[in-house]
Amino acid sequence: MQPRAAALVAAGGFVGAVSRHAVAVALPTAFPWGTLAVNVVGAFLLGMVVYETLHQGRLSVAARTFVATGFLSSFTTYSTFASETVGLTPTLAAANVLANYALGGVAVLLAREVVRWRS
**DSSP string over 25-91:** HHS-SSS-HHHHHHHHHHHHHHHHHHHHHHHT--S-HHHHIIIIIIIIHHHS-HHHHHHHHHTS-HH
Q: Give the pLDDT score at 119.
A: 75
Model pLDDT for residues 17-51, shown as the tens digit of each residue: 999 999 989 988 889 999 999 999 999 999 999 99
The Cα–Cα gap between 15 and 17 comes to 6
Q: Give the pLDDT score at 72.
A: 96
Q: Give the pLDDT score at 63.
A: 92
Q: Give the pLDDT score at 44.
A: 98
State the helix-helix crossing angle for 33-55 and 78-86, rounded to 10 degrees.
Answer: 150
- pTM of model > 0.85: yes
Q: Which parts of the chain register pLDDT below 50? A: none
